A and B are shown apart, each in its own frame.
Chain A
């Protein structure tokens, strides 16, 4: 009887959550006219995620993957005290989340807000439940059953050798575009900002101090050292205000976009060849703690401030004429928000450290699926932060000079003519409040996210603390983007060495200094080229690089879902293959349409080839001033290069897709053997206190 009552109460509770989710989603989707409160978005996401986790994820865990807690995981079977170690599920959840959460879920939604808050919000909510979390969960499960093998190894063994090598090349190319685009975000946040530049530059000597502290003065005291580092970083943010206000010091820290880009390239190279303990590791520790702390602070801030959204549900730019990036709502809303809804890069984490530390198979559910839902929640918070800004301010900050005009007068006139009123006085006051000289044309999403975060954090304290919180947010974004930049360059160097090692053995030895220097230079040269291309782009760089990054990241997700579907079919779960096949089909439609439009669209603001042809025609007609001929020729070349890169991504992923479909058809027809490559079953012997 008691059991029946408990079950009934459980059903009622979940029905209540589902009703709240439906009301909030309906409210968010149908509300027009007056501003709505951010609580609607937060509740819609939270309740949908809870329902998705309770029903869809548990269905996948029980029916599709048949997780078995009696089966020993690699952490138990291969326990070595290093990589393979049974770990508390919530600790591993935090560890996994810290690895998957980067700037993507923060910047993507801010950029996609140009369509209004609604399309991005719905995509983040539904995409995470049906796509992103499924991908992370299934890949984590597959890797866990294969002794923690990587995505590339699984692609090679489950699909074929071509898929394995192709995925290695794909990841390397994506890494190059990723590093260029995140570096561009930092450049646009720090150009002409002495406060931001000083704070970010000061994190380098702080990291070196921390490196020496942990290695020689207090070996092993990482937490203690990170706390000291955090206090020092907060002190330099405060000090940055004095630097920005000093007529002597401010010019020393006021840099052009090109100067910051070159400094980042030099930094990436140094970080790749210097010992990791000196610069990379201390920055990484600090950045991880700051990242988790700021995400928690933002959640608490939104909960307490409950700000109204100022952006409309839809803007006029759903038609593809957006100033931040060109392209219609389909497919570009779904490409712009990758991390936060579905990100291929997560599959590299789900087949990296995490599967080697899972204690019980059942823990893959909260860690793989739940971790992605939390990232979706971070993306919702970023969407809220962008949407609390006045639309006119949002567009003035994010729109490039090439679209709205160079001067403040031209920019506010253009933006106001779109129906988003903003005045020069509004922008000057805001810039003064946050301690900046100007906030126009700060493309990339980071400054508008920082403004939104400052707006939320400064609910208590008012304008007097806006400057501190704005620069705190900028420092936070720069800190962990630079961590991705230095780590990514080093990882790219190793991947390049692995590929070159096939041709010439010594190149594959990571400890061989000439090889390390050559491959590091090649890696920074590659992403640095794309970064400088973005910096010099009259349309702000984000218009070309962010969609390229989104397309490549989601094509990697398509590769991961190909591997996942192949494994499900081999497990004789073909009747459930729609679980991974549905998001795969969606991604293929979205990314192939996006790639096609970016390469071949006749609209020069969208298509790379059309943009190159338009500029070439202008050159031939003599319409380009002599002083800008070289620059125009370089923009023409870059547009064609972007088209080629985009085409290469599509060709590589098509090769994997075709190989996968051949496998699926063969197995389903019975003409190909469904060889299972799982580690053999071993019963778990873990004691209750070890779980």
Chain B
């Protein structure tokens, strides 16, 4: 049961990483800011700009 829970946590962690939600949390913590629509838009723009300048695999 503990293994299943661990796997579930890992999967949830992966989904949050892929969705940038973890990165956003880190961003808030690193800059000592709180969540707001404006803050998300600022973070998201910076993050997405970097993501869409890198080639993707085929």
Contacts and interface: CB of A to CB of B under 8 A. Distances in A.
B18 A289 contact: yes
A88 B58 contact: no
A371 to B, nearest CB: 11
Contacts of A289: 15, 18
Interface string A72-89: 000000001111010110
Interface in B22-39: 23-24, 26-27, 29-31, 35-37
A484 interface: yes
A339 B49 CA distance: 26
Interface of A (DSSP majority class): helix
Given A216-B37, A487-B52, A491-B52, A339 B58 contact: yes
B9 to A, nearest CB: 10
Contacts of B37: 216, 219
Contacts of B36: 219
Closest 4 CB pairs of A and B: A81-B30, A222-B19, A219-B40, A94-B14
Contacts of A338: 58
B57 A349 contact: yes
Contacts of B40: 215, 219-220
B18 A345 contact: no
Interface of B (DSSP majority class): helix
Nearest to B12: A223
Contact of A102 (B14, B44, B48, B57): B57
Contact of A80 (B30, B45, B47, B51): B30
Given A220-B24, A487-B52, A490-B53, 6 more contacts: A81-B30, A99-B56, A220-B44, A281-B51, A339-B57, A343-B57
A285 interface: yes
A348 B26 CA distance: 25
B13 A491 contact: no
Contact of A490 (B13, B35, B52, B58): B52
18 contacts: A91-B17, A94-B17, A102-B58, A182-B58, A219-B36, A226-B19, A280-B48, A281-B44, A281-B51, A288-B18, A292-B18, A345-B58, A348-B54, A348-B55, A352-B54, A352-B55, A491-B56, A494-B53
Interface in A93-111: 94-95, 98-104
A98 B18 contact: yes
Nearest to B14: A94
A95 B57 contact: no
A276 interface: yes
A87 B15 contact: no
Contacts of A483: 56
Given A95-B17, A223-B19, A353-B54, A82 B27 contact: yes
